[in-house]
């Protein structure tokens, strides 16, 4: 497995996993987006949508990207899950505050 150096500090607000993927392509693999899409056998538009944060990173996308870059798909899926969870917590903050845990709902 290949390890890539992260250029951003780890204590930052979670970013979309596509941003990490873009950084790996641009800074480490140095492969143009169109060439990466061809090798991954997906459309350039689909890859751009993920890299721009407009589409979610699916398990299939994570597998293909990991194969292309020599990484592990788990990384991208963990980043995606953390990103989704953080945004859901922010979006549902008020609703979650009003939900009483089952142990105290007697």
* Secondary structure (3-state) at 103: helix
Report pLDDT digits (tens) over 25-66.
999 999 999 999 999 999 999 999 999 999 999 999 999 999
Q: Give the integer Cα–Cα distance in Å for 17 and 50.
A: 8
Average pLDDT over residues 79-103: 92
Topology of the domain covering 17-98: 434 Repressor (Amino-terminal Domain) (1.10.260)
Domain boundaries, the chain: 17-98
pLDDT above 90 as % of the chain: 76
Average pLDDT over residues 82-103: 92
Measuring CA to CA, which residue among 77, 89, 67, 64 is closest to residue 20?
77
Q: What is the pLDDT of residue 7?
A: 65
């Amino acid at each position: 497995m290949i390890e890539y150096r992260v250029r951003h500090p780890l204590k930052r607000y979670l970013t979309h996993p596509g941003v990490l993927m873009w950084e790996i392509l641009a800074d480490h693999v140095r492969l143009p987006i169109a060439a990466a899409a061809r090798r991954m056998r997906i459309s350039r538009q689909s890859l751009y949508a993920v890299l721009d944060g407009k589409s979610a990173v699916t398990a299939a996308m994570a597998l293909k990207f990991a194969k292309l870059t020599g990484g592990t798909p788990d990384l991208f899926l963990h980043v995606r899950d953390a990103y989704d969870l953080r945004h859901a917590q922010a979006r549902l903050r008020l609703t979650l505050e009003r939900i009483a845990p089952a142990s105290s709902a007697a």
